[in-house]
Amino acid sequence: MIGVIVAVPLLIGFVLWAFLWPNARGGPHELPVGVAGPAQATAQVAEALEERGDAFDVREYPDGDAARRAIEQREIYGAFVVDGTGSPEVLTAGAGGAGVAQLLVTVAEAQAGASVEVTDVVPPPPGDPRGAAFGASLLPLVLAGIAAGALVVLTGLRGGRALLALTGAAALGGLMATVLTHGWLEVLAGDWWQLAGTLALMVFTGGATVAGLAALLGQAGIGVGALLLMMLGNPWSGAASAPEMLPEPVGMIGQWLPTGAGASLLRSVAFFEGNAAGFPLAVLLAWLLLGVTAMLAGARLRREQPA
C-alpha cells in the first residue's frame, strides 16, 4: 500500500519532468544558421547573431544560392541573405521545423526593425503546412514498436519465430503508415518506398529493443523499453521543432535514442531527399542489431537452462 502511494506521485513527477521540462526550458543552442552575401554586408548580421551567446552556430556563404544548397542538404536550418542595400532576405525550411523557421524570421525582423522577405526553400507538404502532424505522427510509431515487442514476449515467441514475427509486423506496419501519411493525409512526402522502408525500420527497431530487453530482464524489460522509447525518447526527439531547440544535453541524448534517430531519419527521407540521413540511420541499425542479438541470446539461454 505504501509503495503504491509513493510510486504514483513519483511517476507523475518523472513524466512531467520528461515531457514538460524540454519545452519549458527550450530555446536555440548552437542552432546552425547561415549568413550569405558580401563579407562587409554580412559582418554586422553575423556579429549580432554571435552576441546571442551559444544560441546560433553561424556559418558564412558567398551568396544565396550556396545557402539554399546548404539548407537542402540539411547543413543549416536557414540563412540570412544580405547585400547591404536593404533588409535581409530570410531563407527557411518549413519542413525542417516550423518553429525554427518562425524563430529565424522573428530574429531577422528584430534586427531590421521591419518586415523582411521570406523564402521557404523546403516547404512543408500541403497536408501539414505547420508541421504539427509530423510531430504527432511519431507517437503512433513508437507505440507500434512497443506493442510489437510486447506481443512477441507475451505470446511466448522466441528466437527465429520472434524475429520473423517482428519483421512481418514492421513491414506491414510501415506499408500501412505510408498509405495513411503519404497517400491519404499527405503529411509526408518523398519517395513512397523509401518512406515505407523508413517507417518499417522505426517500428522494427522499437520492437526489437523491447523484445531484446525482455529477453534479458524478463517482462520488466517491456517497461524499460517503453521508458527509453516513449517516456524519454518521444519528448527528447526534437520532432516538434529541432534537437537544437531542446535544453542541453537533452537534444544530443535524444538523437542517440531510437525515437530521436527515427524522427531525424524520417524528416530527411520525407523532405530532404535523404540528405543528412547517415547518422540517424546508423543509430537505428545499431539499436536494431543490439535488440536482435539480445532476443536470440535470451532464447538460447532459456533453452540451455535445465528443466
CB of 60 closer than 8 Å to CB of 54: no
Give the pLDDT of residue 88.
83
Q: What is the pLDDT of residues 91-140, one digit of tens each?
A: 999 999 999 999 999 999 888 777 889 999 999 998 998 888 998 999 99
Show the DSSP H helices in the chain as ranges: 2-24, 39-50, 64-72, 98-112, 132-154, 159-178, 192-217, 220-226, 250-255, 258-271, 278-304
CB of 268 closer than 8 Å to CB of 274: yes
**Phi, psi of 208, rounded to the nearest 5 degrees:** -65, -35
- Domain-by-domain residue ranges, the chain? 31-120, 132-304
Q: Quick check: helix, strand or coil at residue 79?
A: strand
The 10 Å Cβ neighbour count of residue 34 is 26
Give the pLDDT of residue 304.
58
In whole angstroms, what is the distance from residue 187 CA to residue 199 CA?
14
**Phi, psi of 249, rounded to the nearest 5 degrees:** -95, 25
Look up residue 29 and give its three cell numbers: 543552442
Helical packing angle, 159-178 and 278-304, nearest 10° = 150
In whole angstroms, what is the distance from residue 167 CA to residue 214 CA?
17
**Phi, psi of 201, rounded to the nearest 5 degrees:** -65, -40
Q: What is the pLDDT of residues 207-224, one digit of tens each?
A: 999 999 999 999 999 999
CB of 233 closer than 8 Å to CB of 199: no
DSSP 205: H
Q: Which of 21, 168, 189, 5 is nearest to 94 (CA)?
A: 189
Q: Is it true that the peptide bond before 249 is cis, omega within 30 degrees of 0?
A: yes
Low-confidence ranges of the chain (pLDDT < 50): none
Give the pLDDT of residue 303.
62
Q: Which residues contact 186 (CB under 8 A, 6 or more apart)?
A: 125, 126, 127, 128
What per-residue string of b and e applies to 111-147 under the rule 16 or more CB within 10 Å gives b? bbeeebebeebbebbeebeebebbbebbeebbbbbbb
Size (the chain), residues: 307
In whole angstroms, what is the distance from residue 216 CA to residue 293 CA?
10
Q: Quick check: helix, strand or coil at residue 58?
A: strand
CATH topology of domain 31-120: D-Maltodextrin-Binding Protein; domain 2 (3.40.190)
**Phi, psi of 219, rounded to the nearest 5 degrees:** -65, -20
